[in-house]
């Protein structure tokens, strides 16, 4: 198999799975229990939290475990709006956010909030100036992703944080595609809420984390129940998933700079190889080292994905979360119908090889040569 969909999910290294099994079968105590096995689980949980906080450049007490990036995004947005409930009911976001943010904001519009959706240029970029122009006295929250999951565009989150430094307006960023993919710390980014997910960096599905710092104060609990996660996200902690998350982060941090350079080399090599295919065009800036979007105008992306699947090549038609629906990202960018409908995403990881990319280039060339445009 040639796996080129690391932005959808990543392979789990054996060491991560082994660590999870160790917790599931041996260190399985409840961290809230008062006996030795419970105390050991609590200590293990603290060590794992410290690993993930360290990767963010944050304090352990600023990191709260969630079930996924979607939960983190929703919690952050709701917590920010609760904190600023007396400031106003205006929100700024981009038209190309992940559905985890956009669907949450659509629900909030139904509750009386006003949302300004910033449109990208034709390359998929958003500027801090757009945010500055949209700011109002009653703006309670700005929500801007760090790396777009379909185009690889890197958004100016740190610049926006600078704009908001002397305002009460809070800043949330979905950093799921940025965590351990581009260099940043919580301090350098400046966001008040940062959502991340384990399965994008070699960890298990079903676990993520939310950083709450900066101007975030007395955040509203996500759920109500026991006292876990400082009383903000009650429920028995998923200790095995958390252990897998921490192990994956520790492994990814080993020679991280070289891993990032390798992914960037794969991206650049893919550009070179795929440029030889007639009519193929690249979509978006592809600034992040692990994401590259491209289009065969007139050739439906779902057909491309299905054909390559029969050849053992895994890519996606935009975000894996779309499940075949038209991408709101490419629509917002103003792409013509033929280009948008023919756009696919390839994404790389530390395990990607040039052989994977060679196989992709050959398969795409053969797909185009053996079929007539349908759009």
Question: Which three-class secondary structure state does DSSP give residue 79?
Answer: helix
CA dihedral 363, 364, 366, 369 (to 10 degrees): 170
Specify whether the backbone of 26 is left (phi greater than 0), alpha (psi in -120 to 50) or beta: alpha
314 is an active site residue: no
CA distances from residue 223 to 75, 79, 207, 219, 298 in whole angstroms, order as listed: 10, 12, 16, 12, 47
Interacting residues of 328 by C-beta distance below 8 A, sequence separation 6+: 95, 96, 102
**CA 67/CA 206 separation, integer angstroms:** 5
b or e along 110-138 (b: 16 or more beta carbons within 10 Å of the residue's beta carbon)? eeebebbebebeeebbbebebbeebbeee
Q: Which of 68, 104, 266, 321 is catalytic?
A: 321
Provide the β-strand partners of residue 66. Answer: 208
Whose tokens are 């955040």? That residue is: 219
Interacting residues of 62 by C-beta distance below 8 A, sequence separation 6+: 53, 186, 211, 212, 213
3-state DSSP percent of the chain in helix, strand and coil, to 5: 45, 15, 45
Question: Which three-class secondary structure state does DSSP give residue 66?
Answer: strand
Question: Which three-class secondary structure state does DSSP give residue 101?
Answer: helix
Supply the residues annotated as catalytic: 321
């Amino acid at each position: 198999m040639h796996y080129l969909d690391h932005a959808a999910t990543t392979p789990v290294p054996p060491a991560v799975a082994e660590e999870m099994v160790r917790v599931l079968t041996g260190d399985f105590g409840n961290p809230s229990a008062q006996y030795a096995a419970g105390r050991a689980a609590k200590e293990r949980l603290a060590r794992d939290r410290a690993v993930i906080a360290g990767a963010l450049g944050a304090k352990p007490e600023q990191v709260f475990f969630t079930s996924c990036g979607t939960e983190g995004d929703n919690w952050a947005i709701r917590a920010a709006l609760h904190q600023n409930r007396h400031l106003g009911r205006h929100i700024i976001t981009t038209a190309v956010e992940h559905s985890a943010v956009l669907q949450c904001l659509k629900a909030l519009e139904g509750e009386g909030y006003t949302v300004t959706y910033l449109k990208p240029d034709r390359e998929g970029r958003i500027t801090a100036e757009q945010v500055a122009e949209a700011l109002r006295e009653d703006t309670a929250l700005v929500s801007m992703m760090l790396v777009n999951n379909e185009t690889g565009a890197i958004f100016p989150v740190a610049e926006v944080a600078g704009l908001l430094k002397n305002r009460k307006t809070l800043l949330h960023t979905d950093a799921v595609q940025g965590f351990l993919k581009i260099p940043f710390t919580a301090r350098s980014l400046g966001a008040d809420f940062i959502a991340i997910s384990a399965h994008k960096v070699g960890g298990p599905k079903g676990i993520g984390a939310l950083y709450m710092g900066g101007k975030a104060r007395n955040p509203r609990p996500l759920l109500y129940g026991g006292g876990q996660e400082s009383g903000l996200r009650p429920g028995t902690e998923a200790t095995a998933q958390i252990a897998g998350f921490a192990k994956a982060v520790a492994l990814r941090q080993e020679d991280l700079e070289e891993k990032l350079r390798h992914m960037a080399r794969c991206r650049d090599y893919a550009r070179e190889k795929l440029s030889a295919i007639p009519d193929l065009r690249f979509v978006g800036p592809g600034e992040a080292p692990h994401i590259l979007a491209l289009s065969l105008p007139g050739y439906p992306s779902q057909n491309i994905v299905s054909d390559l699947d029969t050849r053992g090549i895994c890519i996606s038609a935009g975000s894996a979360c779309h499940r075949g629906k038209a991408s709101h990202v490419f629509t917002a960018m103003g792409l013509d119908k033929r280009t948008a409908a023919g756009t696919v995403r390839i994404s790389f990881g530390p395990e990607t090889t040039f052989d994977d990319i060679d196989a992709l280039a050959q398969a795409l060339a053969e797909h185009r040569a053996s079929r007539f445009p349908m759009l």
